[in-house]
Amino acid sequence: MAEDIKQEDEPLNDEDAGGTAVKEEGETTDENKATNLDLILDIPLSVTVELGRSKMLINDLLQLGQGSVIELTKLVGDPLEILVNDKLVARGEVVVVNEKFGVRLTDIVDPMERVKSLATT
């Protein structure tokens, strides 16, 4: 009986637990990290490519018709802004791929700047 009590007081090592490693509370394995990442990979995001902006009066807006031209604030050759959920993440230039427009990324916004922009809203 004394031996039974002694065995209960001794801590179990990793091998006693069926050969699987026992992790301390709060620790994560690579598999858990991958599973956690998988949880957010299917979240839909709104991606917008902004060519430019313009301000106009309601009267001017009502006067627009087919063939009207709206002057934008950006100049020819200025990089386009790529926004994800209305937050700037990159800049790029227009390309044509299989007769469709596309954007070639030329500059990625620094991750710290992106985090700061999240705090400002």
Domain locations in the chain as residue ranges: 46-121
Pairwise CA distance, residues 56 & 68, whole Å: 13
Q: Among residues 80, 86, 84, which one has the least CA distance to residue 107?
A: 80
DSSP single-letter state for residue 17: G
Question: Regarding the domain with residue range 46-121, which homologous superfamily does it belong to in the CATH classification?
Answer: SpoA-like (2.30.330.10)
Instruction: Give the span between the Cα atoms of 82 and 107, in whole angstroms.
Output: 10
Mean residue pLDDT of the chain comes to 79
Note the pLDDT of residue 72: 92
**How confident is the model at residue 19, as a pLDDT?**
46
Q: What is the pLDDT of residues 78-100, one digit of tens each?
A: 999 999 988 899 999 999 999 99
